[in-house]
Structures are given as C-alpha cells and as structure tokens.
Chain A
Amino acid sequence: DGGITQSPKYLFRKEGQNVTLSCEQNLNHDAMYWYRQDPGQGLRLIYYSQIVNDFQKGDIAEGYSVSREKKESFPLTVTSAQKNPTAFYLCASSIRQGVRFGNEQFFGPGTRLTVL
C-alpha cells in the first residue's frame, strides 16, 4: 500500500528544544516538500528536495533544517531559532518537480506541533 507517512500525529515540546518530524514515502517519488499551515491559512513552503542529497529553501526556511540522505525519507527539524513553531506541518511528494504533466503532490497526514 503506497503512500506517505508522517509521525507522530501530535507532538508537544517545550520552548527552546529542537524537534524532528519524520516523513517517509514509498511512492518512489524524486521530489519531496515540507509545508507549514497555520489555523485558517494556506500552505507555506519551508523546504523542498528534488533529488537525494540536495534540497532548497522555500519561502519560510528560517529556523528549520532538513536532510535528504535517502530517496524515501525527508525529515524536518524545527530548531529553537524558529520563533513561532506551533503549527500543522505537512510533508508531500511528487514524481518530479516542475514536470508539466502528472506532477500532482501527494500529502501525508501531517504532524500537529505544539510548543509549550
């Protein structure tokens, strides 16, 4: 059964702690993405990766870091430098980035991070 998994679904952390959100896909997709969604808002791109061992900053990368050591995995670390980390974090993947046809994004169920 192919798809994207994110864990955990809910995560609570104390202010000042780094936290890593996992994202795994078995769709054999090249491109992976991390988005942040605040209540009642749209999606804002944090980081994206088009290929293993390569990634680029999105619109709101400050205070976040990622790695792409394996094709199927794209973990996101929310560092203590992120001023307002409480949000809903969504991971997505697509066959490739920027392909005109068939490049829809498939999303994981998301992780709701609350920093106390």
Chain B
Amino acid sequence: GQQVMQIPQYQHVQEGEDFTTYCNSSTTLSNIQWYKQRPGGHPVFLIQLVKSGEVKKQKRLTFQFGEAKKNSSLHITATQTTDVGTYFCAGHEDSNYQLIWGAGTKLIIKP
C-alpha cells in the first residue's frame, strides 16, 4: 500500500540543540498532520497543513508542507526536555480517505 516515509528513526540531541524530522510520500497528499507521543502516552494532535508551501509555527516548532504536497518537515528550535517523545506525521491522499502514518521519529535528549 501507499506509504509515508519518515526519517530519521531516532535523533539524539543535547538540550538546546535543534531537531528536525522529515516525511516523504510518493503520491500527492491532500493534507498532512503532525502528532506527538510522549513516552508511555498516546499520540496528541499538533497541527494540520493543507496548502502547498504552507508554513506554520507553534512557539519553537515550525511545520512545513512542500510545494508539491509530497513532503513535510517539523523543526524544533532549541530543544527542551519537555520536547522528548516520538513525532509522527500522517497524511491523507486525495483518492483515499484513510490516514497514512509515518513510522515516527523519536527525539532523545542526551543527559
């Protein structure tokens, strides 16, 4: 079936460093959503992007949707311990009502 590839699988950063995760789809997406799952918790919706080239910010988090609507990224500036968790992207294809999930990127803060 259709897949949304998400990289990297893990990212270790020092507190205060930046973090970025990328999602790529082989087909055009009608929208893309981002979720955060804290360790031991459940995914929580962060944001949805719909328009080609869209950029949205939430404090230190910047979300981008590519011009071709096939890729997206999440960038966190100056990570904090509260950012620890796994970040998932998920997208809808125009021809498919089913949400397709990336495998997630786990953000780990080095002690």
A residues with a Cβ closer than 8 A to B are 40-43, 45, 48, 58-59, 90, 92, 97-98, 100-101, 103-110
Contact = CB atoms under 8 A, between A and B. Distances in A.
A43 B101 contact: yes
A40 B37 CA distance: 11
Contact of A42 (B41, B45, B101): B101
Nearest to B43: A107
B44 interface: yes
Chain B residues touching A, majority SS: strand
Given A41-B103, A43-B101, A97-B97, A104 B42 contact: no
Contacts of A40: 106
Given A42-B101, A42-B104, A98-B97, A110 B88 contact: no
Interface string B1-23: 10000100000000000000000
Contacts of A58: 98
Interface of B: 1, 6, 30-31, 33, 35, 41-45, 48, 50, 88, 90, 92, 96-99, 101-104, 106
A103 B82 CA distance: 26
A100 B102 contact: no
B44 A107 contact: yes
Chain A residues touching B, majority SS: loop
A90 B42 contact: yes
5 contacts: A42-B102, A43-B43, A101-B50, A104-B48, A105-B90
A59 B101 CA distance: 12
Contacts of B103: 41-42
Nearest to A40: B106
Nearest to B33: A104
Q: Which of A103, A104, A106 has the most CB of B within 10 A?
A: A104
B42 A43 contact: no
Please give me the 6 A-B residue pairs with the lowest Cβ-Cβ distance, nearest first: A98-B97, A42-B103, A104-B45, A107-B42, A43-B101, A42-B104
Given A100-B31, A105-B43, 9 more contacts: A42-B6, A92-B43, A98-B92, A98-B98, A100-B50, A104-B33, A104-B45, A105-B99, A109-B42
